[in-house]
Amino acid sequence: MKKDRKVERFDYSKYESKPAWTSESLLEYEFWGFHKKKGRLNIDTKRYKKACQSVGITDFLPNGLFKQRNSVYFLPEKIKRHDYKINIFRDLINELKNDWVNEYKSIFEKIRTPKEVEEDSRLNSLMFTSSEDDYDEIDIEAKMDGIRRIDKYNRIINSLYCQFIMKVTTEIDRFTLYVMTETGYKGTDFNIDSFFKFSDGLLKERGGIKIKDLSKYNAYNMLHKINNFLKHNSIESYRTLKKLYPANVASIERGTSQTEYKNGMFAGDWLIIKVGYIDDLLDKLIIFFENYCKVFLSEDLEESKWNYDDYFMNAYYEMRYPLKYIGIDF
């Protein structure tokens, strides 16, 4: 009978002689229970936990790391963060969120509102008169300037929304094609149908779950229907959007338009985009792709946040100078 090979634990006693906070040992991988073997990171979880606690930083101690197992060292499931496809989508959408909040929204604040135009008109006119008899006329003219601004203002705001919607769709589709290719797609083109057919092929059982069954599919689908309308400005793309999402497009039926849509009319003028739509959309897209990667790619959503070599290497880089990590520069 073959005897089990005994794995000897690393001797950490040399790290116990002085306080961890001041020790140069923090720069050594072994201090943290990290042992590199054949290009992979093997982790002594007991030592890792003790090292984190010794410097007072427990942010990098995921619960799943301490599940019962037979081996002395823990070998992460993946190497890179993006070896989990859900992290590709998460990082993309979080980048889009950052662009939206810090770039696009700040542009909105610089666009003169109808109220601002009205106030500017009133103040400019008052500068050139001292007669009270002119005040009523100035007030009326200022209000008219504000009213005349409404259509232009709404058109500019809507245009910015449309631009960002098209940017989001383009990036989502680009990364979706990348993930498909990484998981075996051999096609040379991309559209929604090819995404659906390829995904159906990933599930072995017939009659399995479809993409349309996933949570927040409607957010994904509506984004593409809006984008399709913006690209083609056609009656057919308008009718499709109106049929599926009537509240998001102007129509005679709902009393939001006085005329019928015709080929070539600017789609952006017909879209009804509520305040907060983009923020809500991006949050829902993360949920949609999390469900997709769980069902179609069999990824563990919780483990995808930490179960890879680079997560622990990043933890090492963050914690090796613990005072800096907690915001104390020295």
Per-domain boundaries in the chain? 13-80+306-318, 85-112+156-298
Single-letter amino acid, residue 104: Y
CA dist 258 and 326 (Å) reads 60
CA dist 143 and 137 (Å) reads 10
CA dist 329 and 54 (Å) reads 19
Per-residue model confidence (pLDDT) at position 67:
85
Burial of 121 (0-12, 13-18, 19+ CB in 10 A): buried
Q: What angle do CA 147, 153, 159 make, to 5 degrees?
A: 150
CB 262 within 8 A of CB 239: no
Low-confidence residues of the chain, pLDDT below 70? 1-8, 18-22, 130, 132-133, 205-207, 328-330
Beta bridge partners of 103: none
Contacts of 54 (CB under 8 A, 6+ apart): 20
